[in-house]
Amino acid sequence: MRILAIDDEPIFCDLLRARLEQLGYQNVETAFTGPEALDIAAARTNPVECFIVDIRMMPMDGIELVRRLRAIPHHQATPIVMLSALTDKASIDAAFMAGANDYITKPLEMVELKIRLEMARNIQAERAQARLLHEHVLKQEAILFPSAEFGGEIILDDVPGAVSVMSMENFLLKQGNIRLRQSSAIGFSLQQADRYFQKMDPTYYAVLIGDMAQAVSRALSAFPHMLTCPGNGDIVALLVDRAHVDIDQIKENLAHELEALRLRFSAIDMTLPQLETGAPVRTGLFRTHCPTTLIARARAAARGSEGTRAAHNLQAIA
């Protein structure tokens, strides 16, 4: 795996390289500034397969660098691991929003570095596999999501705030109890999604989900949020540091966004499916569930009254 580590402290770059080599990563390059990193990242031949980015750098900080890296077409899904001190919670949130997949805390711990890099390698391997599948299927019929299964995750490249399920889970796992309590998740569920999946070409189904996710993202544009599409026609939005949200206002915004989409669909003689919005779910201060269950609870809440009841029960327990 070719790694590019970016930190404006030359000594830290040396240390990181030594540590990575110790872990068996021999193909490590370093850059001291954002612009230098962007130059290296732009190369298509022998592309960088994982970025390690320090958050606090001058003059371009790590968050801006992540945004610019994500704007490079061939790095929209390349794993990006942020480097940060524990005191940088707000910056870490911003980095996830900009498209980072994970973060490592400074001072550097070998075990943590090893685990994070393994995760990045897994993302990279899945991505390579998806690309191979993609290229293979494109010869016959285009396909946009790796599993091509109804229950499989759909990776969205062009929706603001869209992240993989794994990235959202990582983010949730790294929040403390109090911060986690200040965030809420909202599930959105495409009604009769299975029928649409059966009737449509998988490519168009993925495009449909992408359009819906785009509408959700726009409806939530007033809040810092991240989105994921875990499969089965579901979309989950995580509203960071928003314990209380006006769900009626969000529904109204969404209805407005979907209306615009409905007009586009009717122009091609297609009916836009209904998108159900679940009640926001949160976790309790003294949580008994793993934080990642927030995603499942948000999905359940979006799946009609039964799901909503179940989610309310869970909320009551939490």
Partner 1 sequence: MTAPVRRTLPENDATRSKMEQALAVMRRDFCAGLDERICRIETARLAFASASDTALDTLKFEAHRICGVAGSLGLDEVSTRARTLEEHAGWAEGRALSPKDRAELDRRIEDFLDLLEDHLTET
How many residues of this chain bind partner 1 (CB under 8 A)?
Answer: 32
Nearest Cα neighbor of 271 from 195, 186, 203, 188 is 195
Residue 241: what residue type?
D
121 binds partner 1 (CB under 8 A): no
118 binds partner 1 (CB under 8 A): no
Give the separation between CA 279 and CA 265, rounded to whole angstroms. Answer: 27
Spatial contact of 63 and 91, defined as CB atoms under 8 Å apart: yes
Which range, of 107-115, 147-155, 222-230, 250-258, touches partner 1 by CB under 8 A?
107-115
At residue 286, φ and ψ (nearest 5 deg) are: -105, 75
Give the separation between CA 166 and CA 170, rounded to whole angstroms. Answer: 6
Between 20 and 215, CB nearer to partner 1: 20
90 binds partner 1 (CB under 8 A): no
Q: What is the four-CA torsion angle of 52, 54, 59, 63, rounded to 10 degrees?
A: 80
Nearest Cα neighbor of 314 from 149, 176, 293 is 293
Nearest Cα neighbor of 281 from 245, 231, 250 is 245
11 binds partner 1 (CB under 8 A): yes
Residue 263: what residue type?
L
Spatial contact of 38 and 68, defined as CB atoms under 8 Å apart: yes
Q: Which residues, 6 or more positions from 247, have their beta carbon under 8 angstroms from its beta carbon?
A: 186, 277, 279, 280
Residues 12-41 that bind partner 1 (CB under 8 A): 12, 14-15, 18-19, 22
Which range, of 70-78, 170-178, 187-195, 223-231, touches partner 1 by CB under 8 A?
170-178
115 binds partner 1 (CB under 8 A): yes
Q: Is the peptide bond before 47 cis (omega within 30 degrees of 0)?
A: no
| Chain center to CA of 176 | 19
Q: Which of 44, 59, 73, 111 binds partner 1 (CB under 8 A)?
A: 111
Between 16 and 213, CB nearer to partner 1: 16
Between 115 and 128, CB nearer to partner 1: 115
Residues 268-297 that bind partner 1 (CB under 8 A): 292
Q: Which of 26, 35, 87, 264 binds partner 1 (CB under 8 A)?
A: 87
DSSP state of 246: -
Which range, of 8-16, 39-47, 195-203, 262-270, touches partner 1 by CB under 8 A?
8-16
> CB burial class (10 A; 0-12, 13-18, 19+) of residue 206?
buried
Which range, of 40-48, 114-122, 139-147, 211-219, touches partner 1 by CB under 8 A?
114-122
Residues 44-63 that bind partner 1 (CB under 8 A): 54, 56, 58
Between 56 and 312, CB nearer to partner 1: 56
Q: Which of 138, 173, 285, 317 binds partner 1 (CB under 8 A)?
A: 173
Q: Which of 75, 106, 225, 303 binds partner 1 (CB under 8 A)?
A: 106
Give the separation between CA 84 and CA 188, rounded to whole angstroms. Answer: 33
Which range, of 4-12, 67-75, 175-183, 240-248, touches partner 1 by CB under 8 A?
4-12
Report the interface residues with partner 1, using CB under 8 A.
8-9, 11-12, 14-15, 18-19, 22, 54, 56, 58, 83, 85, 87, 102, 106-112, 114-115, 119, 166, 169-170, 173-174, 292
